[in-house]
Amino acid sequence: MSILCDHEIRDLINTKQMVENYHPDLINPASLDLRLGELIMIESAEDLNMRPLSIADRTANDPYWLVPGQFVLAETMELFNMPEDIAGLFFLKSSRAREGYENLHAGYADPGWNGSVLTLELKNSRQLLPLPLWPGLKIGQLVLFRMSAVPSTSYAAVGHYNAHKTVMGSVA
């Protein structure tokens, strides 16, 4: 298993349509930057389920404010169609982590995962100040790995989170 470099990521995007709605400037030497999408899910005091909230009209100058300790689910702008021999791990951008954003480390892109945006589990770990969220914010990066072999069972056949074009709560 090896980490893919910039030109390998670019080739997979161009030849296998691995990522839709991306910009070439998002490719780093060993990862792909991911941007926040237009929908988040927030807690509600009336319901155990998280409820969707559009932040489509928010900007860097007028963001949605994630208050200290608040947890949200968020989506990426990018939509993925992972090849059968490629997997990916999501990490926050280091600048976002240094600002106080926290990711609950569940962002994994299985080989064969397809037709879906990545759902992110975000939290404001600061104690005093809110953190801004808006569509297009570079929130993290996906590090891509080539598998040592194609798995015998594809996530395309057994995965719960295929073909989700928006942020998703738990289906467990």
Task: Quick: pLDDT tens for 93-146.
Answer: 999 999 999 999 887 899 999 999 999 999 999 999 999 999 999 999 999 999
| Upper half-sphere CA count for residue 15 (Cβ side, 13 Å) | 7
Alpha-carbon distances, residue 106 vs 73, 121, 165 (angstroms): 11, 7, 18
Q: How many other C-beta atoms can be found within 10 angstroms of the C-beta atom of residue 80?
A: 23
- At residue 47 the predicted structure's pLDDT band, cuts being 50, 70 and 90, is confident
For the residues 46-56, what does the mean pLDDT come to? 91
Single out the catalytic residue among 8, 99, 102, 121.
Answer: 121
Ordered by start, the domain boundaries in the chain are: 2-45+52-149
Tell me, yes or no, if 121 is annotated catalytic. yes
* CATH H superfamily, domain 2-45+52-149: Deoxyuridine triphosphatase (dUTPase) (2.70.40.10)
Predicted model pTM: 0.93
Flag whether pLDDT at 168 surpasses 80.
no
